[in-house]
Amino acid sequence: MKTYRNYVATWVMLFLACLASLLFGAGTLELGQAFAVLTGQGTEDARFVVMELRLPRLVIGMATGLALGVAGALLQTLTRNPLAEPGLLGVSAGSAFAVSLAILLGASTATLTTLISQVGALAGCGLVVAATRIQGAGQDPVRLVLAGATLTGLLLSLSSLLMLIDQRAADEIRFWITGSLAGKRWDQLTATMPSLLLAGAIVVGVARPLASLALGEKVAMGLGHKPGLIRLMVIVAVALLVGGATALAGPLVFVGLVVPFVARSLAGADIRKTLWLCLPIGPAMIIAADTLSRLLVTPSEMPLGVITAVIGAPVLMVIIRARRIPAL
Amino acid sequence: MNSSLDSTDTGQTPLHLTPGHWLWRSTTRHWSLLINKRSIVVNATLTLILLACALSSLALGTLSITIPDVILALQGKGTTMHTFVLEELRGPRLLAGALAGASFALAGCLMQTLARNRLATPGIIGIDNAATAFAVASVVGVGISAAPHTMALVGAAVATALAFGLAGATGTRGYRFIIAGLAIGAVSGAITQVMLSSVALDDANAAYPWTVGSLNARAPAAVNALIIGLIVGYTLSLFLNRALATLQLPEPVTASLGTRSGRVRVAGLILSVLLTGLAVSVAGPVGLIALLGPELARTISRPGSIPLTASALSGAILMVLSDLAGRLVFSPLEIPVGIIAALAGSPYLLWILLHKSPDINR
Amino acid sequence: MNQFMTMSKINSPRAPLAAQSLMMSHGPHTIIPHLDIELRTGEVTAIVGPNGCGKSTLLNGLARIHKPRQGTIVLDGADIHTLPARDVARKLALLPQDNSAPEGLTVTDLIRFGRHPHQSWLSQWSEDDERAVRKALRAADVGDLANRPLDTLSGGQRQRAWIAMSIAQETQLLLLDEPTSALDLGHQIEVFELIRALASQGKTIAMVVHDLVSACRYADHIIAMCHGEIVTEGTPSKVITTNLIAELYGVACDLMHDPVSGSPILVNIRRVHPAKPAEIT
């Protein structure tokens, strides 16, 4: 009964966030006009603002939040580390660096960016999982997070180096690297969609074996699963999701931490229930954050990455304070 | 065994109890000094290396000056051109870099020792980022219009206080403290980005190198404050040295030896925050120097000693070298020193994180 | 509470260290609700009891490491928390369990740390310091190991080096937390004999000991603790009874006496309520 209520509540929250995202925002559009568009009326200008500017942004935001939330939940279960977050562990930074490199080299088509971003994420993800398998350090969540922060710092420095070399690319990279949904168009979504769908299919297939892997490698083997294969599939799924999200919205830190944290505190330890709850919570968080980013400093915009960091940092503290993380 | 307690020393060759030290005792008063030979050698060597790096830093650049010419110019006998380059451009920059590097590393050494954790350096726990955010706030004119170095100090203090508040207490391992710092660093970094994105693009571009760590944007007032701060901080830290040494032993032993570890920690933390804030106001967040300097110093110093001086010298060397590399590698393009330090230091930090114990004793 | 009354009551010359109405807690948990204790001059006192009964907490409280929630601890007639830390360190040394030292530190380096409370900026290595370290090296029989790094020593040698550090502190009182834990039998005997030798020099020693037989063999006085309270205290032969052992550890046993030393020995140790075969199947 309680789970059922949670599902309903989170979906209602998502709906409200979407509504707010379409109604509020920069520009001269009145609230009433925006509402009129949603009910099928409204002026031509209002239709354009809502349908061509705000709607793509909304949908892209939903895709990003969904991808990052699910990726976070997967990575945390795989590494058995409640702090394992694609942004904190440097996976997002990996894909961001790859994209910076691609922008510098002149790549501009959305498809290519997505692909490069996912390759970068795959490399980052591989590094993280390799690190977790190092005896001692890998079992220590805090050290892993620090290692991720260091990797992020290193990759950001490399990106900065690229930006110094090419001023033209610098402006583009700098805008993109703080994370934002502003000015997104439909074609970016269509370029990313296939890989996100593929990742979704993998997640559906791997959720059950992953739940048994969470009980331990030997238990999973005893239940007839192949831990190595599960791990590989999860890594690929996370890379596709994070790479896709980063290509869409830039590297966003803390989303993959906050969303599964909320989902887990509602659903409990089972990865399958957590994943179901991530579906509404991830998009709701991104869309709420994006709407806030438009409202807080009107008429200009606050980068989305700033809002997620401001939301996420306290959650990180809550996790650290509440849980007895091993080796803390 | 019983009887041996009472017996007087009858050993054939009296055992030397203070190997590797020079001992000086006053015959009239009860004064005695014990000087570690290795630390003298290490510090002398590091000073020589620093001098060599400083000379290279003065000589090399877009305009190369030969070492003899540098020395002539320093004596006031050089050409006008050389004198200008050295006195107006490279000299102040070298001074700022060396001082900032020394401050960062000294702050790092203090904080590592008092937290008993080699990862607990100001950069990792977000003090750098917070100091930067506050300094940028004063540059772009948000809020109070205090001088950037004052604001950097305030930022460093606020971050530390917050980290303490959020973590509840230091704890002996200080891990919560580190994570709290990480969160504060992330938020501060984000706030810096907001402030930079809200000002005119040219201003943002001008401030950008400094936010990743650069000696380009140093203000004379900040450098003066750093000189005073470093002198005061270094002197006070030397007074703490004896108590800091006992902090290497387990906490109950430290207390049993009469060290007020709580007081020593607070004093060390205040010094560390002061040094970091002032260094950030000059060079931006080059936090990895605070990790690399003490690490280098520790590996070459005598086990069981707290290498404060050696850390400061190592930090200065690393900073001067990073700046020199940044100026030379992509010349005429100049790479900010923070980027060079991050590129060189991050792999090492990763290696520590994944392969070594964070316990400072190991 | 009337502090003056309390002070005068326990201010007896024969107790170099005493605690009155001691209450110690760890966060919200009260470990020791109410406890009075006195150490006797020149004797070895062993504190025994089951895991988690507050033995180490008591030792840390007596050594001024943790502040008690309530009560006073009197060191040589003065409230220990009003004395300067340095003065306390010259009178009382504590050696905790499981010590670790910086890598590469030699035995002499470690022992020299014991002189810390006697040193200052202007007196970094006095003749007294030198004499005390030599004495400690000899007393703990680590002279041959003097310049060896600690990490190259065996467990027993390392523990003797740590005890030597405490000896070099030249304190009247020595508090040891499980000085023989993780040592094999031979090394345990080495350490216990060293402790006896120190007591015969007039030092007052309190130690937390797990092994009851060793406690009986090497201590003059035994304090048995359970749930943060002193159950009983006295000489080993008086204190150690089968009833006490049942109360502390929940086991039944028979007592014999060591034919050589006369100290009690536990034999035929078993659970109080042995499981019936029927219950197992």
Could you read off the pLDDT of B261-283 as tens digits, one per residue?
A: 888 988 998 999 999 999 998 99
pLDDT of B10 reads 45
Contact assessment for residue A144 and residue A79, using Cβ atoms and an 8 Å cutoff: yes
Interface partners of A (3+ CB pairs, < 8 Å)?
B
Task: Indicate the range of A30-39, A157-166, B85-94, B298-307 predicted with least confidence.
Answer: A30-39
The reply to whether residue B242 touches residue C130, judged by beta carbons under 8 angstroms, is: no
Please check whether residues A35 and A78 belong to one and the same domain.
Answer: no
- Tell me the mean pLDDT in the region C25-44: 89
* Residue A326 lies inside a defined structural domain of this protein: no
Alpha helix segments (H runs only) across chain A: 2-23, 31-38, 44-47, 55-79, 91-104, 110-132, 141-165, 167-177, 186-213, 217-222, 227-249, 255-267, 271-296, 304-322
Give yes or no for residue C184 having a pLDDT over 70: yes
pLDDT at C9: 42
- Using the beta-carbon criterion (under 8 Å), do B30 and C126 form an inter-chain contact? yes
User: Sorting pLDDT into bands at 50, 70 and 90, what band is B311?
Assistant: very high
Instruction: Kindly state whether residues A154 and A238 are assigned to the same domain.
Output: yes
Q: In 3-state terms, chain C is what percent helix, strand and coil (to 5)?
A: 40, 25, 35
Torsion, CA B117, CA B119, CA B122, CA B127, rounded to 10: -110
Hey, what are C15's tokens? 């107790």
Q: Residue C104: which H helix or E strand, with range?
A: none
| Residue B119 at interface with chain A, using a CB cutoff of 8 Å | yes
Judge whether B263 is closer than 8 Å to chain C, CB to CB: no
For the four alpha carbons of B231, B235, B236 and B242, in that order, the dihedral sign comes to positive
Predicted pLDDT of residue A153: 82
Work out the average pLDDT over A234-242: 90
What are the CA-CA distances from residue A217 to residues A208, A210, A212, A224, B221 (Å)? 14, 10, 8, 11, 60
Task: Say yes or no: A81 and A198 in one domain.
Answer: yes
Q: Which residues of chain B from 295 to 324 reach within 8 Å of chain C, CB to CB?
A: 303-304
pLDDT at A230: 87
What confidence score (pLDDT) does residue C165 get? 94
Mean pLDDT on A21-29? 69
Q: Is A131 on the interface with B (CB under 8 A)?
A: yes
Specify whether A51 is located in the same domain as A69.
no
3-class state of residue A242 by DSSP = helix
Q: What is the tens place of the pLDDT at every residue in A255-269?
A: 888 898 888 888 777
| Residue B32 touches chain C, beta carbons under 8 Å | yes
How many residue contacts between A and B have a Cβ separation below 8 Å?
Answer: 110
- Is position B74 within any domain? no
What's the pLDDT at C4?
42
Q: Which residues of B touch A306 (CB under 8 A)?
A: 190-191, 193-194
- Considering the domain boundaries, does residue B2 fall inside one? no
- Does A324 score more than 60 pLDDT? no
Q: Which of A52-66, A242-256, B14-28, B101-115 has the lowest mean pLDDT?
A: B14-28
Domain assignment present for residue B305? The answer is yes
Is residue C278 predicted with pLDDT exceeding 70?
no
**pLDDT grade for C1, boundaries at 50, 70 and 90:** very low
Touch between C and B (at least 3 CB pairs under 8 Å): yes
- Kindly identify which residue of chain B lies nearest to residue A165, measuring between CA atoms: B333
Average pLDDT over residues C25-45: 89
- Domain of B155 in residue numbering reads as 37-61+91-355
**Which residues of A, range 67-86, sit inside 8 Å of B by Cβ?**
none
Q: Please compute Rg for chain B using Cα positions.
A: 22
Tokens of residue B144, six digits: 């109070």
Nearest to B218 by CA among B296, B162, B288, B147: B147
Contact B256 C100 (CB under 8 A): no
Rounded to a whole number of angstroms, the distance from the CA of A129 to the nearest CA of chain B is: 12
Cross-chain CB nearest to A150 (options B330, B350, B355)? B350
Q: Which residues in C lie closer than 8 A to residue B246 (C-beta atoms)?
A: 113, 116
Whether B15 is covered by a domain: the verdict is no
Question: Measured between CB atoms, does A134 come within 8 Å of chain B?
Answer: yes
- CB contact (8 A) between residue B255 and residue C134: no
Distance from CA of A318 to the nearest CA of B (A): 9
Do B182 and A146 make contact, defined as CB atoms within 8 angstroms? Answer: yes
C24 within 8 A of C61, measured Cβ to Cβ: yes
Residue A51 vs residue C279, higher pLDDT: A51
Question: Which helix (DSSP H) or strand (DSSP E) does residue C19 occupy?
Answer: strand C17-26
What's the helix, strand, coil split of chain B in %, to 5?
A: 70, 5, 30
Q: Which is more confidently placed, C281 or B286?
A: B286
| Residue B20 domain flag | no
The answer on A252 and A122 residing in a single domain is yes
Supply the pLDDT for residue C7: 41
* pLDDT score of A177: 67
pLDDT for residue A233 is more than 60: yes
Suggest the residue from B18, B256, B265 to mutate for an interface test with chain C (most C CBs closer than 10 A). B256
**Residue at A303 is within a domain:** yes
What is the pLDDT at residue C3? 42
Whether residue B349 lies within 8 A of chain A, CB to CB, comes out as yes
Chains B–C, number of C-beta pairs less than 8 Å apart: 131
Q: Could you tell me if residue A23 is inside a domain?
A: no
pLDDT, tens digit, 9 for 90 and up, residues A262-306: 888 887 777 888 888 888 999 999 898 888 888 776 666 777 878
Residue A327 lies in a domain: no
Q: Are residues A90 and A214 in the same domain?
A: yes
pLDDT at B174 over 60: no
Q: What's phi and psi for C232, nearest 5 deg?
A: -160, 160
At residue C58, the pLDDT reads 93
**Highest mean predicted confidence (pLDDT) among A73-87, A182-196, A300-314, C109-123:** C109-123
In a domain, A328, yes or no: no
pLDDT of residue A139: 62
B176 interaction partners in chain A (CB closer than 8 Å): 320-321, 328
pLDDT band at C22 (very low <50, low <70, confident <90, very high): very high
H or E segment to which residue B47 belongs: helix B37-59
Q: Which residues of A touch B197 (CB under 8 A)?
A: 178, 303
Of B175, B194, B357, the CB nearest to A302: B194
Whole-number Å distance between alpha carbons of B191 and B206: 17
CA pair distance B229, B251, nearest whole angstrom: 30
- In a domain? residue A91: yes
Q: Are residues A54 and A70 both part of a single domain?
A: no
Could you read off the pLDDT of C62-105 as tens digits, one per residue? 998 888 999 999 998 899 999 999 999 999 999 998 788 888 88
Residue C225: closest CA among C20, C31, C15: C31
Do A165 and A77 belong together in one domain? yes
Least confident of A67-81, A145-159, B9-23: B9-23
Indicate the average pLDDT of chain C.
86
Instruction: Kindly report the average pLDDT of chain A as a whole number.
Output: 80
Q: A234, A210 in Cβ contact below 8 A?
A: yes
In this structure, the answer to whether residues A102 and A214 fall within a common structural domain is: yes
What would the pLDDT profile of A62-75 be if each residue is shown by its tens digit? Answer: 999 999 999 999 98
3-state secondary structure A193-222: HHHHHHHHHHHHHHHHHHHHHCCCHHHHHH
C169 vs B contacts (CB less than 8 Å)? 256-257
User: Which positions in chain B touch C193 (Cβ < 8 Å)?
Assistant: 1
Looking at residue B362, its amino acid is: R
Q: What is the pLDDT of residue C52?
A: 85
pTM for the complete prediction?
0.84
Residue that is written with structure tokens 């387990």 in the block: B250
Chain C residues 55-84 within an 8 A CB cutoff of chain B? 60, 63-65
pLDDT at C172 over 60: yes
CB proximity list for C4: less than 8 A, separation 6 or greater: none
What beta strand segments (E) does B150-268 contain? none
Give the structural domain span for A38. 1-18+29-58
Chains that touch C (3 or more CB pairs under 8 A): B
Does B69 map to a domain? Answer: no
Span C173-190, average pLDDT: 87
pLDDT attached to residue B325: 93
Per-residue pLDDT at B100 exceeds 90:
yes
Give B89's contacts (C-beta < 8 A, 6+ positions apart). none
Q: Classify residue B324: in a domain, yes or no.
A: yes
Pairing of strands C17-26, C173-177: unpaired
My answer on whether A179 and A273 are in the same domain is: yes
d(CA A141, CA A132): 9
Percent of chain C with pLDDT over 70: 91
Name every chain B residue with its beta carbon within 8 A of the beta carbon of C194. 1
| Total of domains in chain A | 2
Interface of A with B in 149-178 (CB under 8 A): 149-151, 153-154, 156-158, 160-161, 164-165, 171, 178
Q: Does the pLDDT of residue B171 top 60, yes or no?
A: no
Q: Identify whether residues A258 and A317 lie together within a single domain.
A: yes
Predicted ipTM of the assembly = 0.84
Q: Which residue has the higher pLDDT, B254 or B167?
A: B254
The 10s digit of each residue's pLDDT in C200-256 is 988 999 999 988 888 989 999 999 999 999 999 999 888 888 888 888 888 888 888
Q: Nearest C-alpha of chain A: how many angstroms from B360?
A: 14
B350 and A CB contact within 8 Å? yes
Q: Are A65 and A287 spatial neighbours (Cβ–Cβ below 8 Å)?
A: yes
Q: What is the pLDDT of residue A294?
A: 80
Q: Packing angle between helix C127-139 and helix C185-200, nearest 10 degrees?
A: 130
Rounded to an integer, the average pLDDT of C30-37 is 91
CATH number at residue B271: 1.10.3470.10
As for how many domains chain B has, the answer is 1
Confirm whether B86 is domain-assigned. no
Q: Angle at the Cα of B147 (from B142 to B152), degrees rounded to 5? A: 80
Same domain assignment for residues A288 and A157: yes
For chain B, list the contacting chains (3+ Cβ pairs, <8 Å): A, C
Contact at CB, B343 and A161, closer than 8 angstroms: yes
What secondary structure letter does DSSP report for C151? G
Does the residue A24 lie in any domain? Answer: no
